[in-house]
Structure 1
């Protein structure tokens, strides 16, 4: 059975939490007391994290969900509609910071930053973690159904440049990441701004489009689990989630290398409750709370204190923590400016319409 957002949230015990699926605020407001408005990804929080925070903080949480970074950016581009904490990926942290949409993080109010592995505290997209706090890190690869796929799909060719599994392939809908993956497959640096390279990837995707079942918005794992597709470009944590439900599913980082990302907790400028936002971020970075989140969402945690509490099936998983030789070929996505982003989005529009 396919898992909808509503079913997942019910399953993990958020029935009493204010939930919005469109990102709109206000419908689930809390009468009396403080409300934290959280805008995040689907299936991306611990089973008891929000109820536990509500109890600890004496506040209410209103959770809204976005499908991809483009949707998140569109909500914040013209001002904060009322969110206190958002969870953008690294390149979108850069984009939002450049347009002045993010407030500085007061590190004095987040003492649990001491739990974060130092490797994640000074990234190039946010030196010194001025506007973001690390939540997870991520690797993009190929999720697949072993019984339906002949061998291990260890190249992006299987999904980008082959008709072998026509009608059984799912690709990401997010323009920048899909084009970066296409560039990796061509043997070029992912973070290119070369118009000719973008045109090459566009042509490849247009040629491949008759073989594609869907361009998905953060639900490729559900499509794979439900049997709608047999191969999908997805994030390692999402595939790790559904592998617990179906042992026929697997994940691989292609030999050309994948895209690395780091999702961060940010406070948008104009947040109604900045002190509560800092309290929530600090709560999430607690060792036990961080371990609970990691156990639920199955993404790699940058929280070294939480990692020390995790069982071997998490710490030793080659899906959650791919081998070093595979990671060495991966690249962090970087924001390349409005002109390049527009070129990606225009090319993606032509692919979707073609």
Structure 2
């Protein structure tokens, strides 16, 4: 989900090239190896978004605990869910977003956390110690929170006679940036934000509006350069697109490098979708004690600071946030205004049938 600020301007895979996949225990899907299953000593198998970790976090945890971390990567919640739907292939810690925490817990794909083994829960900001999508934090600990918005090339936007592309219409229902648009391929997010553009909540979208959204996005598809999975800021940086549906942290990272003068990010005036990525232990985890220890470590103040410095997402870790500079705390890309946040919502899981319907709608849009 994120490319670290020290790597901006390069490929999202540059972390892997710089440090070497083997050096930091990264694998790319497929079956977990014998070593990853613990053949080389205590191991935590971690299924995470791409480069969504500090550059030394895994090594630091190994030095502190004697337990290695084998990190595999996924690009969307849909991919994460599909991978574990048939059974846990050996993961100990996963990072689903809020809606999928609910979905996976209801499907008995997550196991309850032992809060006594996670004392660093005390570092969390009070508003993140409970969650409507996981009452009592029974199954999840917050890792980051984030908002979706529009990342854009400022010069290209000015060339179109605009100051800021401050409406979802420029992505979903407009020809201004023809073939210079990239949309996220996360089915529920795309549909929910389309509903927000049409004046509805991101939740409880009526059937007639779902039909309207599908027709709208099929009309828009010829104007879309790519439906991306976790590399939208790279498409923007390379010039392949001029505007992109992307997470605020990804664009903040791009702007923190060489792109500070060239790119910007806006939460559209209609409001947006708030997400929270969470740390969970999937059912059948082979190293439950190691999983708790790793989650607790990620919630440590100093460890959290190192992660936040790298990925530049809003952190729910108050102790880590206190260690961050004002340039982070006061960054409007990372922390949108109260006015925009008041118009924004978390997406609620509304059942497997609705989730499958969203996936089917996106499949039809992609095939159109």
Q: TM-score, normalised by structure 2?
A: 0.93
Aligned length: 354
The two structures, once aligned, show a CA RMSD in angstroms of 1.5
SS of 1:46 mapped into structure 2: coil
Tell whether the 8 Å contact from 1:2 to 1:223 is kept in structure 2 after alignment. no
1:303-342 alignment to 2 at 5 Å?
303-342=317-356
Equivalences for 1:33-52 in 2 at 5 Å? Answer: 33-52=41-60
1:237 matched to 2:252? no
Report the 3-state secondary structure (helix = DSSP H, G, I; strand = E; otherwise coil) of the residue aligned with 2:13. helix
Task: Give the aligned partner of residue 177 of structure 1.
Answer: 189
Matched, 1:85 2:97: no
- Cα offset for 1:5? 4.3
Shift in alpha-carbon separation, 1:18–1:329, aligned structure 2, 3 A: same
**Match for 2:28 among 15, 21, 37?**
21
1:347 aligned onto 2:355: no
CA distance in 2, matches of 1:23, 1:192: 36
- Displacement of 1:14 in angstroms is 6.0
CA separation of 1:209 and 1:165: change in aligned 2, threshold 3 A = same
Please list, as runs of the form range in 1=range in 2, the aligned pairs for 1:140-159 lying within 5 A after superposition: 140-150=148-158, 151-159=163-171
Is 1:227 paired with 2:220? no
Looking at structure 2, the residues matched to 208 and 140 of structure 1 have their Cα atoms a distance apart, in angstroms, of 19
User: What is the CA-CA distance between 1:243 and the residue it aligns to?
Assistant: 1.0
CA distance in 2, matches of 1:294, 1:2: 19
Please report how far the alpha carbon of residue 193 of structure 1 lies from its aligned counterpart in structure 2 after TM superposition: 4.0
- What SS does the aligned partner of 1:257 have? coil
What is aligned with 1:128? 136
Task: Call closer, same or farther: CA 1:14–1:44 in 2, change over 3 Å.
Answer: same
Structure 1: runs of 5+ lacking an equivalent = none
Post-superposition CA distance 1:179-209 (Å, at most 9, x none): 0000000001111242111111001101111
Residues 5 and 61 of structure 1: is their aligned pair in 2 closer, same or farther, counting only changes over 3 Å? farther
Q: Does 1:271 align with 2:279?
A: no
1:244 CA drift (Å): 1.5
Cα drift, residue 118 of structure 1: 1.0
Please list, as runs of the form range in 1=range in 2, the aligned pairs for 1:88-127 lying within 5 A after superposition.
Answer: 88-127=96-135
The equivalent position to 2:302 in structure 1, one of 277, 282, 288, is: 288
CA offset digits 1:66-86 (Å, max 9, x no partner): 010000000111211100000
- Determine the C-alpha separation between the residues in 1 that align with 2:229 and 2:306: 26
Q: The residue matched to 2:155 in structure 1 has which SS?
A: coil
> Which of 192, 201, 216 matches 1:204?
216
Specify the alignment match of 1:190 in structure 2.
202
**SS of match in other structure, 1:191:** coil
Distance 2:70 2:11 in 1: 19
Query: Partners of 1:215 and 1:47 in 2: how far apart?
Result: 28
Separation of aligned partners in 2, 1:20 and 1:114: 32
Q: Deviations over 1:247-288 (max 9, x none)?
A: 211100000001001110000011110100000011110101
Report which stretch shifted further, 146-155 or 296-305: 146-155
Structure 2: gaps (5+ residues): 1-7
Question: Does the CA contact (< 8 Å) of 1:35 and 1:59 recur in 2?
Answer: yes
Deviation >6 Å, runs of 4+: none
Aligned counterparts of 1:275 and 1:14: Cα–Cα separation in 2: 25
Matched position secondary structure for 1:3: coil
Q: State how far apart, in whole Å, the 2-side matches of 1:334 and 1:11 are.
A: 38
- 8 Å contact 2:12–2:231 — kept in the other structure? no
Q: Aligned equivalents of 1:93 and 1:280: distance in 2?
A: 18
